[in-house]
Amino acid sequence: MIRGLYTAAAGLVTQQRRHDTATQNIANLNTTGYKQVDSVSHSFPEAMITAMQGGVRQPIGKLNTGVFAEQAINQYRQGDLIESGKSTDFALAGELEAVDPATGQNIVFDATGKFINDQGEVKYRPQAFFALQDASGRALYTRNGSFAVTAAGEVLSSEGYRVLGADGQPLTLKGDALNVADGGLRVDGQGRILDKTGRPSGAAIGISVVDNPEKLVRDGSGVYHAEDGAGVRQPTTADNIDLRQGYVEGSNVDATQVSVDLNAAYRAYEANQKLIQIYDTSLQKTVNEVGRV
């Protein structure tokens, strides 16, 4: 009975975390560059239950001891591109490809950007991000390309981080590009800043490709940092990245799905709560009534 009480309590905690994840997604339905988070639950290891009869163990079967919310997985699928008309707004379009080293062929990812090979190994679609830098010099990454330009020409993200150039240094606009309000800032599809003649000026917006996006850690406000093994690199022409000026990428949250998840978590929480109440009543009867007899 006590074992069942702990199992129900583990279910309560798991559903609460699932509910929190769903509400977080709903709260960011209109957040630029936000990526949906899915909560993944796993069961605790199963335990073999046996009975002692005349000094001999008789196997009864396996017992599952509950579930726990193991991790939260970011869904990096492309969000809708929304035209803003601002010359300092940018969006990254296009889906990157990856090659299966075993076959030498392009990997076919599913709708969520995941691929599982014959050995059960999981591979996620590489993702492109705008490269940022915080005050301590730490590298950060975001899909939110709504930037601002200071009077000195320094390009900042909406969170106040410095936007890096293709050379890995903080990006500073010069010359005609400083005339942001008058359309002086022009950027081509590769992120290169153009001069007044329409030719590359030598400066470019920094874009980083993360080969293993599951190794990114969410810092909040649509900003991530990379853990070991993330495989951060500079983009190549084979990546086919298309940068759109005057657009921003909307949230990729599936409103219908997260609403279903929210209600499912709520109902499952209620069920586990009811089980705990039943166990509590049973224990109360055991102690106060059965024990008295």
> Is residue 70 a contact partner of residue 41, using CB atoms and an 8 Å limit?
yes
> Is residue 39 a contact partner of residue 75, using CB atoms and an 8 Å limit?
no
**Residue-averaged pLDDT of the chain:** 87
How sure is the predictor about 6, in pLDDT bands with cuts at 50, 70 and 90? confident
How sure is the predictor about 144, in pLDDT bands with cuts at 50, 70 and 90? very high
pLDDT at residue 71 is higher than 80: no
How sure is the predictor about 1, in pLDDT bands with cuts at 50, 70 and 90? low
pLDDT at residue 284 is higher than 70: yes
d(CA 217, CA 196): 39
Q: What is the pLDDT of residue 223?
A: 94
Q: What is the pLDDT of residue 263?
A: 94
Q: State mean pLDDT over 19-42.
A: 90
What is the three-state SS of 223-278? EEEECCCCCEECCCHHHCCEEEECEEECCCCCHHHHHHHHHHHHHHHHHHHHHHHH
Q: What is the CA radius of gyration of the chain?
A: 26
Residue 272 in tokens: 């586990």
Choose the weakest-confidence range: 77-91, 118-132, 175-189, 205-219.
Answer: 175-189
Q: Count of residues for the chain?
A: 293
In the chain, domain spans: 2-74+254-290, 82-249
Choose the weakest-confidence range: 31-45, 148-162, 249-263.
Answer: 31-45
Residue 116 bridge partners (DSSP): 122
pLDDT at residue 30 is higher than 60: yes
How sure is the predictor about 291, in pLDDT bands with cuts at 50, 70 and 90? low
What is the three-state SS of 184-226? CCEECCCCEEECCCCCEEEEEECEEEECCHHHEEEEECCEEEE
pLDDT digits (tens, 9 = 90+) for 107-135: 888 877 888 887 888 888 999 999 999 99
pLDDT digits (tens, 9 = 90+) for 207-248: 999 999 989 999 988 899 999 989 999 998 888 899 999 999
pLDDT at residue 251 is higher than 60: yes
Q: How many CB atoms lie within 10 A of CB 80?
A: 11
pTM, two decimals, is 0.82
Sort residue 195 into left (φ over 0), alpha (ψ -120 to 50) or beta: beta
